[in-house]
Structure formats: structure tokens, C-alpha cells
Amino acid sequence: MVIEARNLGAKVVVGHGETVTEPVKPGTNRAALLAGVDILAHPGFISREDAELAAGRGIFLELSGRKGHSLTNGHVAQAAAATGAMLCVDADAHGPGDFLTAAMAETVARGAGLSAEAYQALRKNMAAFVDRIGG
């Protein structure tokens, strides 16, 4: 699906991760990472091995602003810190009222345990990604 999405012109491919709030088959995180997504959304209790794979492939791990999915943001932040994986903040918006303000995005990241400096590094990485894809 990642290849097909890119062939159809997708500049960003987000893979559905192993969130704790939905029935997701174990191994979904790994499959998405191996497929070459750009962002692994709500990866739940991501393993160290999968976080290392994300780090090595330059794949972002999402800190989710969506209720339920956000329950494991602290774990995701710790896994990223331990492995060098990049993080992004995302709303996982399903409707207009779900989008995050800049202040709320920072709250999501800081609530997951990121320092002010780590949050600024996250923002810099996200901006570089947008620049790279031509945003």
C-alpha cells in the first residue's frame, strides 16, 4: 500500500500503529516500518527494536493528541529518546474540532515528558520534513 500510495502521488504516508485503544494485530508497527511509511501513528507500546528500526529509517513516531491514542505517548517518547527515533506531534483529526493549536501541540509533547529543548528539536525535525517534501 505504501508503494501504491507513492505511485498515486502521496508525499506523506502515515501507517496505523498498534494503539492500545483499538484492536490492531501485533506486528502492525513492524510491518508499517518495513513498508517505508513516513510516520507511524499512535504506535502504542512500541518495542525497542521497532523504535530502533524507525530511527534507522528516519521514520517519525507520533505523539498523538487524540484521546485514547495518547495514553502511551510517554512510552513512545521514552522509546524515541532511548533509540534516537524522531518524534512528531499529530492530532489524528477526525473532524474540524480535533485539530491542535500550536499551544496544545506543545502540551501534548511536554505532557509526554519532552523538555522544552526536546520539543524545539521535534519542531525543527518536523519543519525539515515539510521542507523536504516540498511543503
The structural domains of the chain, ordered by start, are: 2-132 (3.20.20.140)
At 21-55, the pLDDT tens digits run: 999 999 999 999 999 999 999 999 999 999 999 99
Give the Cα separation of 100 and 103 in Å (integer).
8
Say yes or no to pLDDT of 135 above 90: no
pLDDT of residue 13: 98
Among residues 12, 2, 45, the alpha carbon closest in space to that of 134 is found at 12
Global pTM reads 0.96
Contact 29, 47 (CB under 8 A): yes
